[in-house]
């Protein structure tokens, strides 16, 4: 987790103290109100469970009310505190109503995990008449989390404390072919959050961009090339998110992503050639070739 190099001194101190024999350091999540979007399955569900196990009150947000209710019941049965808010994050009126309910019932959120999203893998040669792929991907991966940040940021600033974690992809560093719409939407959120963190530097509000590698969820199901590719479990990804919430690093990167980012800077044409050659080995999935969208939404 290379992002820990940018962890705050306080987080390092807590880590060192926690290594002392017989010393148990309480989680920074204990007693906090944490919103997790896309919490009905995959990384979001695993994160909600992990956050609740740390003693936080978790607010579950996703479209599927029945699945949210299931997750909330299971968290409560395990001794945690959970509240479900069914909401389509691309519906402005629905988001406004959900935010209003959260502010009225909880007074705001201490931490926000922007996990809900959409992934799509399709070559540009198959996308000439599919600008809607870009529009709907940007709507959920960029506009929706920004709307939540702007809704809950005033309360965080007023309290002098708050943290936002964005679940992104190592693709923002690798810039893999066939993922133009998806990676561009995640890169936009990555940049927005870095700038927001600079503006709120003196307000006690921090941002972490978690750039994950492949995670075995329903989102990657339509991509045939991923069926035999090594991937993290949702629980492994959730552990990285919890660490990001507790330690508040600027970024959480993979080694491969960081290497690719350096290669893009020092040898961009070589990086282009390598990426192009690699992309040729993994053609578009049959559904993409048939112009049937091979995408999956979370939340």
Question: pLDDT digits over 33-68, tens only?
Answer: 999 999 999 999 999 999 999 999 999 999 999 999
List, in order of start, the domains of the chain with CATH numbers: 27-298 (3.40.50.720)
The whole-chain average pLDDT of the chain stands at 88
d(CA 47, CA 222): 23
Q: What is the pTM of this model?
A: 0.85
Strands (E), the chain: 33-37, 57-62, 81-86, 111-114, 117-119, 162-169, 205-212, 251-252, 296-298
CB 219 within 8 A of CB 42: yes
Provide the token pair at 96: 């406004």
The conformation of residue 165, written as its DSSP 8-state character, comes to E
Q: Nearest-CA neighbor of 167 among 242, 255, 89?
A: 242
Active site residues: 182
- Write out pLDDT tens, residues 241-274: 999 999 999 999 989 889 989 988 999 999 889 8
What are the phi and psi torsion angles at 115 (to 5°)? -115, -30
Residue 13 pLDDT class (50, 70, 90 cuts):
low
Q: What percent of the chain has pLDDT over 90?
A: 67
- Strands 117-119 and 296-298, bridge-based pairing: antiparallel
What pLDDT does residue 4 have? 43
- Cα(37)–Cα(43) distance, integer angstroms: 10
Q: Say how far apart CA 173 and CA 211 lie, in whole Å.
A: 9
- Cα-based angle 194, 116, 257 (whole degrees, multiple of 5): 50
Is residue 2 pLDDT above 50, yes or no?
no
Q: List, for residues 192-232, the tens digit of each pLDDT value.
A: 999 999 999 999 999 999 999 888 776 555 555 556 667 68
pLDDT at 234 over 60: yes
Burial of 158 from C-beta contacts in 10 A (0-12 / 13-18 / 19+):
exposed
Give CA–CA dist 160/233, Å, rounded: 35
pLDDT at 15: 54
């Amino acid at each position: 987790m290379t992002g820990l190099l940018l962890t705050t001194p306080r987080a390092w101190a807590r880590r060192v103290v926690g290594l002392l024999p017989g010393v148990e350091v309480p989680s920074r999540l204990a007693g906090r109100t944490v919103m997790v979007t896309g919490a009905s399955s995959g990384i979001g569900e695993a994160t909600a469970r992990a956050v609740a196990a740390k003693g936080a009150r978790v607010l579950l947000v996703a479209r599927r009310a029945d699945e949210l209710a299931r997750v909330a019941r299971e968290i409560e049965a395990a001794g945690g505190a959970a509240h479900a808010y069914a909401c389509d994050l691309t519906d402005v009126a629905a988001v406004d109503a959900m935010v209003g309910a959260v502010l009225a019932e909880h007074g705001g959120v201490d931490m926000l995990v922007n996990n809900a999203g959409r992934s799509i893998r399709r070559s540009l040669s198959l996308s000439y008449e599919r600008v809607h792929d870009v529009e709907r991907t940007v709507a959920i991966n960029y506009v929706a989390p920004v709307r939540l940040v702007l809704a809950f940021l005033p309360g965080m600033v007023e309290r002098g404390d708050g943290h936002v974690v964005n679940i992104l992809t190592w693709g923002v560093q690798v810039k893999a072919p066939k993922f133009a719409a998806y990676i561009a939407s995640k890169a936009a959120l990555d940049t927005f959050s870095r700038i927001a963190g600079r503006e709120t530097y003196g307000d006690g509000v921090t941002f972490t961009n978690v750039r994950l590698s492949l995670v075995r969820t329903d989102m990657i199901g339509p991509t045939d090339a991923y069926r035999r590719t090594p991937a993290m479990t949702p629980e492994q990804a959730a552990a990285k998110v919890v660490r990001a919430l507790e330690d508040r690093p600027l970024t959480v990167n993979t080694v491969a992503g960081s290497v690719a980012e350096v290669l893009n800077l020092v040898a961009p044409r070589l990086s282009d050639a390598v990426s192009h050659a690699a992309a040729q080995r993994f053609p578009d999935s049959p559904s993409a070739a048939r112009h049937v969208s091979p995408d999956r939404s979370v939340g």
